[in-house]
Amino acid sequence: MTAADTIRIDRLLVYLRFARTRSAAQVLIDTHALRRNRKHVLRGSEQVRIGDVLTLAVGGGVRVVEVIALPDRRGSPAQAASHYREVDSDGLDRKGQMTIAASPPMADPPPDVPEDFS
């Protein structure tokens, strides 16, 4: 894998317009508002590849995006959006294993053992 196949995550956030500057991207990282492939990002120098899934807590909501191409500069919002896709609107990750939103509470828990009337 060459250096052209990866990009620093702080730079990617700026190029994809999730942050205005690399300093603002670092704030997202420092406040644990960013995950890459379900793991908290700890440093701005972490490398991102095509296919990685980013989870961002921005603007009071959560956005989950898959990187489909690596940009070489910051462009227009339309250009930025062409480099990622939103993960399906059901709030599931790529494998459909974990919901992003909390599950609704159950009204009545199911009984532990059904009674047998034989």
Q: What is the CATH number of the domain that holds 11?
A: 3.10.290.10
Q: Distance between CA atoms of 52 and 87, rounded to whole angstroms?
A: 11
Q: Tell me if 114 is assigned to some domain.
A: no
Average pLDDT, the chain: 82
For residue 108, what pLDDT band results from cuts at 50, 70 and 90? low
Q: Tell me if 95 is assigned to some domain.
A: no
Q: Tell me if 11 is assigned to some domain.
A: yes
What pLDDT, on a 0 to 100 scale, did the predictor assign at position 110?
Answer: 54
Q: Tell me if 108 is assigned to some domain.
A: no
What pLDDT, on a 0 to 100 scale, did the predictor assign at position 102?
Answer: 41
Q: What is the pLDDT of residues 47-103, one digit of tens each?
A: 999 999 999 998 888 999 999 999 999 999 999 999 999 996 455 444 444 444 444
Query: Whole-prediction pTM value?
Result: 0.71
Residue 90 burial class via C-beta count within 10 angstroms: exposed 0-12, middle 13-18, buried 19 and up? exposed
Please list, in sequence order, all residues whose beta carbon lies within 8 angstroms of the beta carbon of residue 53, skipping any fewer than 6 positions away. 36, 37, 38, 64, 65, 66, 67, 87, 93, 94
Q: What is the domain extent for residue 19?
A: 3-86
> How many domains, the chain?
1
Q: Tell me if 100 is assigned to some domain.
A: no
